[in-house]
Amino acid sequence: MQTPSNRWLGHGLYLVIMAALIAGIYFSGQKINYTWHWERLWPYVINTEPQDIIAQTDGTAVVSASGQLSITPDYGGAPQVVPDYDKLVARDGDLIFQGDTIARIEGWRFGPIAEGLWVTIEISFLSLIFSILLGVVFGLMRVAHGQVWRNLAVTYVEIIRGTPLLVQIFIVYFFIGTVFDLDRFTAGVAALSIFTGAYVAEIVRGGIQSVPPGQMEAARSLGMNYAQAMAYVVMPQAIKRTLPPLAGQFINLIKDSSLVSVISITDLTKAGREVVSGSFAPFEVWFTVAALYLVVTGGLSWAIQRLEKRLAASD
């Protein structure tokens, strides 16, 4: 049995060990002669630098009385009109060459890491929805009475579980993607959904089979047909039991989504690779990328825990 004083001692010891670990990481970082440049990373997450507006042709700058800037090309054609700017660089009548900075615009925009994070969240979310659909359909087929359905479901699950996700992504992108003319994003979502769906199907099957057969019998004896008994009696109980393993599977899905970078989808991982080559700060970038994945997976497991608590009302 745990006494309260024991528990506080445990927490304290944990803090000491964690502090030691962090100090270890910090000092080993100091020792390897690596210059940390965390500030270099910031523009790749959120860029607050003013953005340059570039002249598209050679010509003459014209600033109207109302302050509107346009470039009149030397060799005819429509003038380049700058609809909005914060700071003027070119002055009225200046000779402008293509590529010159003519004005600047203030404000901020997302850097590649933030955009990659968004792509990762988007891909994970869409794949999560589709994998639930696939998983429920194939999980139900797995326990259906018809042998055809059971065989089909077993085949799907075995093929998908028996091959590496990376290989599946290539097959979906290069073969299925070519046949159906899919763009890389769709192919990535399809591969992740099909992969995760197989695992969800097995989890759903386990959940359904963990509901005592008496529940199905009671529902049927009240006149419900198979579909009604499944929908109103068996599945609500099964879903509750499958939430913890599903949470694990969906966290895996978020992490597995990093593999779609091999088909040139600029997700968080690919953005990280690109930023490393631009910023020369690989350690900082990968620590940041890892932390961002942790935030997404942590958010998901928190949400599922909330759901579990809500469903526990009948326990």
Partner 1 sequence: MTNQAQKQVLIAARDVNKIFENGCHALKNVSLDIHRGEVVVIIGPSGSGKSTFLRTLNQLETISSGHIKIDGIDLVDKNTNINKLREEVGMVFQSFNLFPHKTALGNVMLAPLKVLKRDKAEVEQEAKDLLYRVGLHDRMQSYPSRLSGGQQQRVAIARSLAMKPKALLFDEPTSALDPEMVGEVLDVMKGLAKEGMTMVVVTHEMGFAREVADRVVFMEEGELVLEESPERFFNSEHPRLQRFLGQVL
Instruction: Pick between residue 155 and residue 221 the one whose CB is nearest to partner 1.
Output: 221
Q: Minimal distance in Å, beta carbon 3 to partner 1?
A: 31
Looking at residue 281, its amino acid is: A
3-state secondary structure of 36: coil
CB of 234 to partner 1, least distance (A): 10
Specify the DSSP class assigned to residue 66.
T
Q: How far is CA 137 from the centre of its chain?
A: 24
Which one, 19 or 218, has the nearer CB to partner 1? Answer: 218
Task: Select 64 or 314, whichever has its Cβ closest to partner 1.
Answer: 314
The strand pairing partners of 46, in sequence order, are 110
Supply φ then ψ for residue 299, to 5 degrees. Answer: -60, -40
Q: In whole angstroms, how close is the CB of 128 to partner 1 at the nearest point?
A: 24
Are the C-beta atoms of residues 104 and 50 closer than 8 Å to each other? yes
Of 128 and 219, CB closest to partner 1 = 219
**Whether 123 contacts 257, CB under 8 Å:** yes
Nearer to partner 1, 226 or 280 (CB): 226
Residue placing its CB nearer to partner 1 in the complex, 31 or 145: 145
Distance CA 297, CA 280 (A): 27
For the bound state, the minimum distance from the C-beta of residue 151 to partner 1, rounded and expressed in Å, comes to 20
Least distance in Å: CB of 272 to partner 1? 44
Decide whether 160 or 233 has the Cβ nearer to partner 1: 233
Beta carbon of residue 226, minimum distance to partner 1 (angstroms, whole number): 9
Q: Would you call 283 exposed, middle or buried from its count of C-beta atoms within 10 A (0-12, 13-18, 19+)?
A: middle
* Least distance from partner 1 to the Cβ atom of residue 208, Å: 14
Q: How far is the CB of 221 from partner 1 (least distance, A)?
A: 4
CA distance linking residue 21 with residue 179, whole number of Å: 51
User: Beta partners for 3?
Assistant: none
Q: What is the dihedral of CA 200, 206, 211, 217, to 10 degrees?
A: 100
DSSP string of 291-303, one letter each residue: HHHHHHHHHHHHH
Contacts with partner 1 by CB under 8 A lie at: 212, 214-215, 217-225, 228, 232-233, 236-237, 240, 313-315
Yes or no: say if 73 and 59 are a contact pair by the CB < 8 Å rule.
Answer: yes
The answer for residues whose C-beta is within 8 angstroms of residue 234's C-beta and 6 or more apart is 208, 211, 215, 216, 219
Decide whether 4 or 146 has the Cβ nearer to partner 1.
146
